[in-house]
C-alpha cells in the first residue's frame, strides 16, 4: 500500500523558517517525481514544487522561488521542503504528492499545516 506521511508543520513567525518532511512507503520512491502541493484555509489547491527522481531537476511556483527549496533522500525514502522567509500568504496545508505523469498526482499524503503568524 502506497503511503505518504508528512510532518514538520507548525506555527512560525513571519520571516521564519520551517522544514517539512514526507516519508514514503509501499512503492519504489526513487522511480518517481515528487511534489509539494498546498491548500490555503478554505481555498483551492496550488502546486508548489517538484523534484525529479534523482534530484537533478527542481521546479518551483514563482511565488516561492528563492525562498523554498525541495530536496529528497532516496536512501531514506524521504522528501523535504525547506521554507525560509515565510510570509502570511504561505499559511496552508502542505501535501506531499506522487506524480503519475504530466502534472497528475496519484497519491497524496494527509498534509501538514503551516501557519505563519505573529
Partner 1 sequence: QSALTQPRSVSGSPGQSVTISCTGTSSDVGGYNYVSWYQQHPGKAPKLMIYDVSKRPSGVPDRFSGSKSGNTASLTISGLQAEDEADYYCSSYAGSLHVVFGGGTKLTVL
- In 10 A of CB 10, how many CB atoms? 12
> Binding residue for partner 1 (CB under 8 A) from 46, 53, 84, 115?
46
Q: What does the alpha-carbon distance between residue 40 and residue 43 come to, in Å, rounded to a whole number?
A: 5
CA distances from 86 to 1, 12, 91 (A): 34, 8, 9
47 touches partner 1 (CB under 8 A) = yes
Scanning 20-28, 63-71, 78-86, 102-110 for contacts with partner 1 by CB under 8 A, the matching segment is 102-110
95 touches partner 1 (CB under 8 A) = yes
Q: Which residues bind partner 1 (CB under 8 A)?
A: 44-47, 50, 59, 95, 100-111
Amino acid at each position: 500500500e502506497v503511503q505518504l506521511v508528512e510532518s514538520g508543520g507548525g506555527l512560525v513567525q513571519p520571516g521564519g523558517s520551517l522544514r517539512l518532511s514526507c516519508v514514503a512507503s509501499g512503492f519504489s520512491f526513487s522511480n518517481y517525481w515528487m511534489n509539494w502541493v498546498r491548500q490555503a484555509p478554505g481555498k483551492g489547491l496550488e502546486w508548489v514544487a517538484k523534484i525529479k527522481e534523482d534530484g537533478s531537476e527542481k521546479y518551483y511556483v514563482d511565488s516561492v522561488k528563492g525562498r523554498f527549496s525541495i530536496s529528497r533522500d532516496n536512501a531514506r525514502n524521504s522528501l523535504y521542503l525547506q521554507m525560509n522567509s515565510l510570509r502570511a500568504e504561505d499559511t496552508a496545508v502542505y501535501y506531499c504528492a506522487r506524480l503519475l505523469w504530466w502534472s497528475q498526482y496519484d497519491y497524496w499524503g494527509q498534509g501538514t499545516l503551516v501557519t505563519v503568524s505573529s
